[in-house]
Structure 1
């Protein structure tokens, strides 16, 4: 394609040079005293015109070939068989990545919310978080003192005044502890009048295992003495350890359950 264009340009330039020579005026004779050295257009060799034309044609051909090369490169790049992948604008890539980033952020936030909710439930369910036995000193001292007096009262018995034991049970026991106390003292009551029994229980130490609002659990250490005052006085001593659950009713702590660890 470049060679054909080169030939066409050469023919055009040769035709132009020929037309200029034909149109040039005839050379007049030199005037007397005028040097006869003015060049005539017709005297210019055709070869020089052809060389100039060819040089111009060469430049035109080089430019044409460069243009053709660019055209071929562009055609190879943009043609249907070799279409090059155009680089997408930066904003387009950002729009493509934004939904994925938002989705990932949503998943992370959802996971964090689930973890936080579970952790909060664990903290609420953890007894150590609810137990104020070591932090609420006043309430701890209150429940220890009242339950120690209640244990001494309900687990003491005197055959001469059995009604006092019943009054103590009615004032210090609630819930399951009422029946448990009856079962534990049933044998003492049955033998009390006959053997003239006197049972005395004294709390030597106690510890608050759990204190949660109006509920508490205590570990009790007590000494018991059992005296028979019949024909011959006989006293036996024993140590006892058990746990009690307590509830607060108004301003009074009451025993709601007794655990003797004999399951």
Structure 2
């Protein structure tokens, strides 16, 4: 803005000086009195930027022009030989004005961004490793491996086969003891074999004399744990004991116990019996 105004004032000053020289050399035109003002067609009219004689207000008595508009960005290097500012200087001033007061922080942000990304990457990697370890520990816990509520088909299979096994091994007929022994060999493995013998020892001892008939029927069962080929079930059963020796007598009793089961050759078998006795 200051350079443009300087050029305008300079051109006006040169035009005024040329007009004064032409007016001084030209003869007077027409009659005129001694006090009549002499008209000068080349003289510039007075404007807001010129004085009464058409000379810019910023013209000094010695004929030089002083730019009344000051700016901090004007320097000798910004003005060419023709008085116009170079494009490089103008672009430099524009870029400095557009950067604003906060532009000095940009280099620091460019340096800090890679460091922040590296830190975030390390944190995400550490979190992924921790999550993987937690998931592995959860998978290793026995409770997390229990599929009793998710594998409906296998849960139903183990319940049905163990209910049949309990009814067979805990039933006794004094007239068909071989059937009870065969049931024990078919449905029992491990320590459950000896446990069943101990539990029915008194029944076998008194069976021929009292003509005992023991019938066990499972009324309900629940699978506590189902982990691959191993399971644990809670059994509810009704037992009916009939004596037909001297007089027919029948008694009823309810039983509740737990059994551990294993799958052998596609069949679930009882491996342990828990009567909750101290």
Both structures adopt the same fold (TM-score exceeding 0.5): yes
CA distance in 2, matches of 1:173, 1:146: 12
CA distance in 1, matches of 2:207, 2:254: 20
**Alignment deviations for residues 150-199 of structure 1 (CA, whole Å, 9 cap, x no partner):** 10000001111212111100000011211111111111112222222111
1:198-237 map, 5 Å: 198-237=213-252
Which protein has the bigger helix share?
A: 1
The equivalent position to 2:125 in structure 1, one of 102, 109, 115, is 109
CA distance in 2, matches of 1:173, 1:227: 25
- Do structure 1's residue 253 and structure 2's residue 262 form an aligned pair? no
Q: Identify the residue that residue 4 of structure 1 maps to in structure 2.
A: none
Residue 110 of structure 1: how far off its partner (Å):
2.9
The root-mean-square deviation of aligned C-alpha atoms, in Å, is 2.7
1:7-156 map, 5 Å: 90=107, 94=111, 102=118, 105-106=121-122, 109-127=125-143, 129-156=144-171
CA distance in 2, matches of 1:145, 1:104: 55
**How many residues end up aligned between the 2 structures?**
175
Residue 130 of structure 1: how far off its partner (Å):
2.4
Q: Identify the residue that residue 203 of structure 2 maps to in structure 1.
A: 188
CA distance in 2, matches of 1:162, 1:218: 27
Structure 1 segments, 4+ long, off by >4 Å, are: 97-105
CA distance in 2, matches of 1:199, 1:163: 14
What is the TM-score normalised by the length of structure 1? 0.58
SS of corresponding position for 1:221: strand
The equivalent position to 2:192 in structure 1, one of 177, 187, 203, is 177
**Alignment deviations for residues 217-241 of structure 1 (CA, whole Å, 9 cap, x no partner):** 2111111011111111111110011
Q: Which runs of 5+ in 1 are unaligned?
A: 1-89
CA distance in 1, matches of 2:210, 2:233: 33
CA distance in 1, matches of 2:162, 2:135: 35
CA distance in 2, matches of 1:133, 1:105: 41
CA distance in 1, matches of 2:213, 2:152: 36
Q: Identify the residue that residue 157 of structure 1 maps to in structure 2.
A: 172
CA distance in 2, matches of 1:103, 1:176: 59
